[in-house]
Amino acid sequence: MKNPSATFQLDSDRVEVSSDDAFAKISAIFRLLGCQEEIANSVSNHLIDSSLSGVESHGVMRALQYVKQFQSGFFNPDVTPQIVTCDNGWEAVDGGGGIGIPAMELAYERGMLQARKQGVSVVAVRNVGHTGRLGAYADDAAEKGFMTICIGGGNRKIWRQVAPYGGAKALFPSNPWAIGMPGGNDDPVVVDFATSRVAGGWVYAARLAGAQLPEGYLIDSNGNPTTDPEDYFNGGAILPAGEHKGYGLGLLAEIVADALLGEPKTEGNWLIITLDTEAMQSSSAYSKAVDAILAEVRECPPAPGFERVEVPGQRSRNHKRLCNGVVAIPEHTWRQICDIYTELSEGLDR
């Protein structure tokens, strides 16, 4: 069992919940709210996998957010994503206004199928809610021999979270990027990052857990530094990652999501570029070269305060291996999930 490396400092206890128990409750909640069984299972597995991977911001705590968005009508529960051909001939996945996780899974599957045939593919994803942990899809594709780049987000009109560099007001969503590549004879190399200093999910997670965030992540409604998640929800903002660098990447993602793919519906638009690495380089030559690169990285002497140099994506995989199928969830968060399950189940029995 391993506790996640949380971005926030948690003062309360955690409860250890088996993956099976978490799945039973969370999938039942989504079914009771009107999701088809396949969709409920897909979303539940994704959230639990994120928690097991140590990415608590996109883990089981997101179930609480999704419940509210279903109940408010922001998400449509009874939909299945569909592949559509746009007027210009490009393919897209229409999520139907539902949770974006099944739509992303379908888009990556379609992208890999097309890239296997023609070397490279581009698939857009539109009309979706929250898309979960992008690194999970990139990791799966890399395992199968594909390089993928996912850019997007958008819909800043309703998701103003991040201040531009030098600004004191939230303008953009967190607009993440995810890039994955096969790791040769080792695990895939996956970079999955919000263009904000911290993913919005970490602010939600800290708030749910009654915790504070480190300095340098948030500003309040007056533009002053703060560590209190409530200040963010009361008109504050998240700062961009790497100052002007995160701001630039976030702005480009906003242009892709809104100007290139059209005005977003629900939560955002996404562009997924998929490349079959064997179309560029033989698998043996690629593996030999990437193995040499990663060996050099791992052999780099660690700086003071570090045990080793890690390869992007390695920490999440190691975390999952050490968890042994048990999720450590903030007690307050798990209690809320259990209460919702009980309330919905009892309502069905009446």
The tokens describing 180, both together, are 């994955």
Supply the pLDDT for residue 173: 93
Domain that includes residue 110, residue range? 77-312
Q: What is the pLDDT of residue 159?
A: 85
Residue 46 predicted with pLDDT over 60: yes
Q: Is residue 44 part of a domain?
A: no
Would you state the pLDDT for residue 208? Answer: 80
Stretch among 17-31, 78-92, 123-137, 280-294 having the lowest mean pLDDT? 78-92
Is 143 among the domain residues?
yes
Tell me whether residue 292 is exposed, middle or buried, using C-beta atoms within 10 angstroms of its C-beta: 0 to 12, 13 to 18, 19 or more: exposed
- CATH number of the domain encompassing residue 185: 3.30.1370.60
- Count other C-beta atoms under 10 Å from residue 206's C-beta: 29
Percent over 90 (pLDDT), the chain:
83
Tell whether 68 is covered by a domain. no
Q: Is 160 inside any structural domain? A: yes
User: What span, in angstroms and rounded, lies between the C-alpha atoms of 66 and 19?
Assistant: 19
More confident residue, 201 or 50: 50
Do 15 and 25 meet the contact criterion of CB atoms below 8 Å apart?
A: no
Whether 331 is in a domain gets the answer no
Q: Could you give the number of structural domains in the chain?
A: 1
Averaged confidence pLDDT in the chain: 93
SS3 of 251-271: the string is HHHHHHHHHHCCCCCECEEEE
Q: What is the mean pLDDT of residues 194-208?
A: 86
333 within a domain of the structure (yes/no): no
If you average pLDDT over residues 332-347, what whole number do you get? 93
Burial class (CB in 10 A: 0-12, 13-18, 19+), 306: exposed
Q: What is the pLDDT of residues 219-266, one digit of tens each?
A: 999 999 999 999 999 999 999 999 999 999 999 999 999 999 998 988
Average pLDDT over residues 173-190: 94
Classify residue 19: in a domain, yes or no: no
Give the tens place of pLDDT for each residue, 284-338: 999 999 999 999 999 999 999 999 999 999 999 999 999 999 999 999 899 999 9
Higher-scoring residue by pLDDT: 265, 98: 98
d(CA 44, CA 90): 30
Q: Is residue 170 part of a domain?
A: yes
pLDDT single digits (tens) 116-143: 999 999 999 999 999 999 999 999 999 9
pLDDT of residue 57: 86
- pLDDT bin (cut points 50, 70, 90) of residue 8 is low
pLDDT at 121: 97
Tokens for 190? 């996956």
